[in-house]
Structure 1
């Protein structure tokens, strides 16, 4: 666990900071400055209530360039107030906020407008479309504010309407569109403006669940393609887990925990966060890389059939992975095939090599692993970009990851899959043969007759 209001990752070497928030506080009321001072001295939110309502208290975090940073919390937690502080729509009572090094707090209105015009676009919960303008003109509105010529802005807006699936609706008016379509116009407008930062305040909360999921997937797709920096506000934990590279969990104006979805799900900072995440769909948050274990049943291509057979006997498994130099995964071998090669005097396990049945990348969600796990005689193999075997996900680990148990387990006594050939027959065959030589006729015949 870490201090609830400290961003431990944003200062790592090489990370460019888009937004930096330092001890920011926002108080509504008659004497906000005095209330902020007392909060800094240790007063609680309730104790300063006679002076004003503390909406955001001592918030500190950095947002990296190109990440989706999610602020989540229940109604009244301060998340919407916080996002409006980032672009100066809400005045900051105390603390500092900078955007690409330009200070927001105390900046003159004209400079703030310039920052919003060129560096930040905002997508609102209730779309904020202009009802008297067509869909195309709404999508082009940000470019109009920037002073882009008419033909150019309409062409760019049309391109973005095509990206969000509304190319044929450009001459329609907002009232002719469904809620999901209107929100697509809002997203097209924000991306068409081509600002470096997008601020999204509960942008999908008014949509039906199916449309909402489509919009979430569209946003992730666009962000991965364009590398925009996005600050996304939501009260939906599953949405936060799906979208966020990092998440700040707020309660009563304070950031309770800041971390990756995995951090928050597997290591909640306090009971409040733990209760918040207890019903989250873990299968769509945890990845193969989060739950994988070191592979045990692995032999190199240089090993002979006897070595492979001996390993499978000792681990009580019917198959094992085969890797080439650099641990690159090349396939699997089965105990029956290795037994046959040993009896025939074969020395090359590649003669019985079969394709690996289930391979995933460490980034794949475990929701995608269940069908693969059921169909595979081996644990699901996890490989990196160079096809190197970096871990495996056994069925029991996959099931355990759906509970509140730790994702890293102790040694599992039952090895998957169970052997096809009895251990006694493997031992008898190994004892009756020598490396590179077939077993004598009598011993081999006895072993053959013992296999079902």
Structure 2
């Protein structure tokens, strides 16, 4: 059995721009961890689009000039087991169409979408229905509740479609309503619930089928700011309780930063950058991505682990900080700690490197990433 790493161990060289903490996370990712992947996916609207020869060199302007609209352009990305990927962009950027491609609510024009290693484009209708029933949950902007059914009947509805008996499906629905904080409102009709409560019913309904994969398309966009924040808190609580692979769509960068393990930023149907929130803030891949991050308080986004450097054969002494702590959370310690290199550990206590105090303080107070 390998002994745990120590701060005095020999240095490990990281790829450019990748911290020791990120390197350790990347090294644990295997093909088995990938639940959803798409390869060179295009969705083009227009008569005869399926006959087009689409390559990475094909531009949106070329297609537009011939009467076609490219909603998704040459997208390749993957979503890992238990990960929340937030896809964001302005209206018309293609994010909702991409999610519909991932769930095969629309067929792709070119490319392939794989779910647990299976090409969903090659599935029969029966296989696709079974996949959605067994593994997928979906929540969209429109709550889509049935007005003539009570909240608990709405939550139980997909289980009814599965053919479950009434007692079993209502018991499951009641448990899901309690999970989203609606215990006691089971017999309310949608019109008797607030917007936030209706959204919770929608979330409970999608959870009732126990999906491994959860698609959420701007589920909070119709809510007022206070309810939206409350629902984000509720969602983070649910995420910590139920391990799901999640694709979450939003146009709100603050929401993305709050929720995401990784963020994919889209523009004109293409993914400009797909990376961790820290990397997107510290190293935007394009001018367009940089505009999203220009007004962001880096101190509340960048975590100690993202800045951790693997020490070159030296011991780091004194109390460590946690890799998941943000610079804003560490502000007092950064100002008061006399050490130039502060040890960083995971929540389990595994050392991952040292935090350069001067660099962290500069970023905290608005320096360049």
Q: Does TM, scored on the shorter chain, surpass 0.5?
A: yes
Residue 178 (structure 1) shift? 1.3
Residue 135 (structure 1) shift? 0.7
Residues 230-252 of structure 1 deviation map (CA, whole Å, 9 limit, x = unaligned):
01111111111221111111110
- TM-score by length of structure 2 reads 0.83
- Gaps of at least 5 residues in structure 1 are 3-8, 301-320, 323-328, 330-358, 407-452
Residues 234-276 of structure 1 deviation map (CA, whole Å, 9 limit, x = unaligned):
1111111221111111110111111111121111111111112
C-alpha spacing 1:396/1:56, structure 2 compared with 1 (3 Å): closer
Higher RCO (Cα < 8 Å, 6 or more apart): 2
Residue 161 (structure 1) shift? 0.9
> Could you tell me which residue of structure 1 aligns to residue 322 of structure 2?
361
Please state whether the residue corresponding to 1:54 is helix, strand or coil. strand
> Could you tell me which residue of structure 2 aligns to residue 44 of structure 1?
59
* Distance in 1 of aligned mates of 2:244 and 2:180: 16
Residues 413-437 of structure 1 deviation map (CA, whole Å, 9 limit, x = unaligned):
xxxxxxxxxxxxxxxxxxxxxxxxx
How many equivalent pairs are there? 341
Residue 18 (structure 1) shift? 1.0
* Distance in 2 of aligned mates of 1:163 and 1:197: 18
Please state whether the residue corresponding to 1:97 is helix, strand or coil. strand
Instruction: Give 1 or 2 for the bigger CA radius of gyration.
Output: 1
> Could you tell me which residue of structure 2 aligns to residue 156 of structure 1?
172
* Distance in 2 of aligned mates of 1:265 and 1:210: 26
C-alpha spacing 1:55/1:360, structure 2 compared with 1 (3 Å): same
C-alpha spacing 1:122/1:389, structure 2 compared with 1 (3 Å): closer
> Could you tell me which residue of structure 2 aligns to residue 165 of structure 1?
181
> Are 1:131 and 2:159 an aligned pair?
no
Please state whether the residue corresponding to 2:63 is helix, strand or coil. coil
> Could you tell me which residue of structure 1 aligns to residue 30 of structure 2?
13
> Could you tell me which residue of structure 1 aligns to residue 363 of structure 2?
400
The 5-angstrom pairing of residues 22-421 of structure 1 reads: 22-34=39-51, 36-37=52-53, 39-40=54-55, 42-49=57-64, 50-291=66-307, 322=318, 329=319, 360-371=321-332, 376=336, 378=338, 382-384=344-346, 385-386=348-349, 391=354, 394=357, 397-406=360-369
* Distance in 2 of aligned mates of 1:15 and 1:404: 39
> Could you tell me which residue of structure 1 aligns to residue 12 of structure 2?
none
CA RMSD of aligned residues (A): 2.9
Residues 325-354 of structure 1 deviation map (CA, whole Å, 9 limit, x = unaligned):
xxxx4xxxxxxxxxxxxxxxxxxxxxxxxx
- TM-score by length of structure 1 reads 0.69
* Distance in 2 of aligned mates of 1:272 and 1:403: 20
